[in-house]
Every structure is written in C-alpha cells, then in structure tokens.
Amino acid sequence: MGGADDELSIWFHQRSRLLGLAQDHHVAVRYDASIPQLQMQLEGIAIDVTKGKKFFTKGSRKADLVDPTQLVSIEAGLAALQALYGQNIVRTQIEGSHSRHGVAHGRELAYDTRVNSAKVWSVMDAFVEWAMPKVRDLVAARRAERPAQNAGSEETDDEGRRVDDRQFAETRDMLRVLQTSAMGWYRQRGAFRDDLIGGVYRPDDFTKRGLPAEHGMQSRVSRNGQEVMYWRATVSGWVLGLAVTADGGTFGEHLYGGSQPPVGLPSEGWEGWEGWGDIFGLPPDWS
C-alpha cells in the first residue's frame, strides 16, 4: 500500500512490520496482544486514507465505509462491523465483547480469545480490500500536487535528488522497458538493435506509461553493437539515461542523471555514468 509514494511507502512498511508482530502474537496464543495491535492499525490506516476520519468512532469523525462498488463495503459489510466494534462499554465487564473502546480503556476483561482475534483479522482483511483504491487515489493526488508545488525548483533534497522530479518516474519506467527489450533482442541477434525507439516501440507505448507522444527519447548503439544507451530530457530539462553493455553473455548496467545529455557511452569514459559496482552508488535521481 502506498508503494508509489516515498512517505506513504515508509508508513505502510512499518504498519506491515507491526502486523507481522500481531501475527506472531496470534500464533503464540497471545490474543491479549494481537487484538489491540490489529485495532490500532485499523484506526491508523483509516486515518491515513480518509484525511483524518476514524474507524472506531461515531459522528462526523467516522470514516464512511459504505461503497456499493465493492462487496466488502456494501451497507451490511464493513459499516456493520464498524458499528459493532465501535460500541461504547460504560461499565467494566467480563463478556468477551468486540468493542475497541472496551479493550483500549480496560472495561472489557475477557476480550482475549482466539475467536475474537481471528475475527479482527477478518475485519482487517476486508478493510485493506476497501482501503486499497483509496490509497491509490491518495498517491495519485499527492503525486499531482507535489510537481505543481516544485515545478521550476533547482533544489535537491537531503539525498541529492532533484525536488522538481516531474516525469522522473515515468522516464525511469520507460528506460527500464527499453533495457529489458534490448537485452532480449541481443540474446537473439548477438548485437543491440538501433531501432527499438520508433521501430519496436511506437508513440502509444510511451503515452500508456505517462509520457507524451512526442517523448524525446534518444538512443545510440556502439559501432560493434555491444553497447547501447538511452536517454531522455524530462519536462524540467533534467536528463535521465541508461546504458547496457554486453560482456561474455552477461550484461552491465550504467545509469545517468545530469543537466545535459550524456556525451558518450560509459566505455568511452564519459563522466556521469554510474554502475552498480561504483563506490558512490547510483545517481541520486535513480535511487
């Protein structure tokens, strides 16, 4: 969840870690620990994907979980479970209630059963199914908002990456497609093709990956056909490139990022190309 957004990806990675602990607790018959952890993550995910709305609450702050386009979120689905788990417990009891309020505030003293833990896992499964399209919409909105704010900026972040990274992801994606195709054709022919762009890959192959039809992708193959490079200037003018070298049945990869197009192939000694074995690692805008 949130894998296309750096910040959200970190959040959900940590949620995954905590859910892994909840799984360990459940398997170890520690339902006293698995149930609160699951309930906390249900609430946290709801807040993340609904701009502050909650799963375990009532009134205007309650997340709207009714979505007739999904089976899990029809009116008798998640919303009914939300009401069940959101019940208040006004006195201390030993009844095995599902109430999150009773668990969190110490009013339900017999919540820690295998059945209750399994039921919360089932709720989590349905809730994640409901939340996935919400996360995709959130990622799309954040990606659309960030470029507009950073357009024209010459600044870099703490990792040296360009703040104005419009079309970076789409360009890297297309360069990877060209890389994979180039290696496949090399295995058949023993040399890299010089007509992947415009021959094998037409404008619609670029537009379906988020680039304009007039994509501006360039390429060059070495004279002996054993090395190829592709590069493209993004909308900000920053250039990203990728080169592949064939060497005895294996392939070497070099990546490029700079204000100007790469002047030559990596084997020709031109600066800016960095490979996996380089001491300084990858160009910041590729990491």
Average pLDDT estimate for 134-161: 82
Average pLDDT over residues 258-262: 93
Among 121, 150, 179, the domain boundary falls at 150
Q: Whole-prediction pTM value? A: 0.55
d(CA 283, CA 287): 7
* Residue 241 phi, psi dihedral angles, 5° rounding: -145, 160
Is residue 71 a contact partner of residue 154, using CB atoms and an 8 Å limit?
Answer: no
Residue 279's pLDDT is: 43
Name which residue leads in pLDDT, 45 or 3: 45
CB 2 within 8 A of CB 9: yes
Task: Provide the residue range defining the domain that includes 99.
Answer: 6-150
pLDDT bucket at 234, cuts 50 / 70 / 90: very high
* Token pair for 183: 């290696």
**Shared-domain flag, residues 145 and 192:** no
Q: What is the pLDDT of residue 108?
A: 96
- Domain assignment of residue 55, yes or no: yes
Q: Is 59 a member of any domain?
A: yes
Give whole-number Cα distances, 147 to 165, 231, 236, in Å: 7, 21, 10
Which residue would you say has higher pLDDT here, 233 or 167?
233
Q: Computed from CA positions of residues 8, 232, 226, 195, in that sequence, does the dihedral angle turn out positive or negative?
A: positive
If one compares 107 and 284, the residue with the highest pLDDT of the two is 107
Residues 182, 130 share a domain: no
Confidence (pLDDT) at 281: 64
What integer best gives the mean pLDDT of the chain? 90
What value, to the nearest 5°, has the Cα angle with vertex 57 and ends 121 and 113? 35
Q: Assess if residue 160 is contained within a domain.
A: no
Q: What is the pLDDT of residue 95?
A: 96
**Tens digits of residue pLDDT in 208-219:** 888 999 999 999
How far is it between the farthest Cα atoms of the chain? 83
State how many domains the chain has. Answer: 2
Same domain? 15 vs 123 = yes
* Same-domain status, 109 and 192: no
List, in sequence order, every residue forming a beta bridge with 274; answer none if it has no partner. 255
Residue 162 lies in a domain: no
> Considering the domain boundaries, does residue 101 fall inside one?
yes
Beta-carbon contacts of 18 under 8 Å, excluding residues fewer than 6 positions away, are: 37, 40, 41
DSSP string, 106-147: T-BSS---HHHHHHHHHHHHHHHHHHHHHHHHHHHHHHHHHH
The verdict on 179 and 69 lying in the same domain is: no
pLDDT of residue 125: 94
Residue 104 has pLDDT above 80, yes or no: yes
Which residue, of 150, 181, 213, is where some domain finishes?
150
158 within some domain = no
At 158 the pLDDT is 85
From 43-52, 78-87, 154-163, the region with the lowest mean pLDDT: 154-163
Report the DSSP pairing between strands 274-275 and 239-247: unpaired
Asked whether residue 60 falls in the same domain as residue 106, the answer is yes
* 159 found inside a domain: no
Give me the percent of the chain exceeding a pLDDT of 70: 97
- Across the range 92-110, mean pLDDT stands at 95
Q: Are 143 and 177 within one domain? A: no
Rounded to the nearest 10°, the torsion over CA 61, 67, 73, 78 is 20
Judge whether 161 lies within some domain. Answer: no
* Percent of the chain that is helix, strand, coil (3-state, to 5): 45, 15, 40
Both 29 and 139 in one domain: the answer is yes
275, burial (CB in 10 Å: exposed 0-12, middle 13-18, buried 19+): middle
Model pLDDT, residue 147 = 67
My answer on whether 100 and 214 are in the same domain is no
Choosing from 118, 150, 182, the residue where a domain stops is: 150
Domain co-membership, 189 together with 261: yes
Q: Is 198 found in the same domain as 84?
A: no
* In a shared domain, residues 116 and 226: no
